Amino acid sequence: MTRDEQIALVQRYFAAVDGEDLAELLATLTSDCVFTVETHGVRLEGHDGIAEMFRRLWSNHQAVLHHRFAYVCDPEGGRIAARFTVENTEHDGRLTHKSNCNFFEVKKGRFSAVAVYMTGANTLKDTE
């Protein structure tokens, strides 16, 4: 993938996250994708666990928004890093802001690994 294709894949992934479009989100991930939240000791493998995590994220918030992206691309190595701001709207209307970084590994046009580093509380909890 080129640099622009990598960035487009990250944008597609986050558009699906923000739009609560699980089918589109999973379409950006390999079936055996490893998803980690490095700052909170979470490790998930495959679509089922990842899907459940995102369902929880969406049910625990009125809305989620990822924006203000900066990218570091490594097309030859099949990797891309993204730094961004997260704005979660709580069910009571309060806003929670975070500064996060994700590190993605790309295989055959999809993410085979996603490593998340987030500030503050874990909004991608792996358990209730």
Distance CA 56, CA 96 (A): 16
pLDDT digits (tens, 9 = 90+) for 7-27: 999 999 999 999 999 999 999
Full-model pTM: 0.94
Distance CA 12, CA 19 (A): 10
What are the chain's domains?
Answer: 3-118 (3.10.450.50)
Residue type at position 28: T
pLDDT digits (tens, 9 = 90+) for 54-86: 999 999 999 999 999 999 999 999 999 999 999
The predicted structure's pLDDT at residue 29: 98
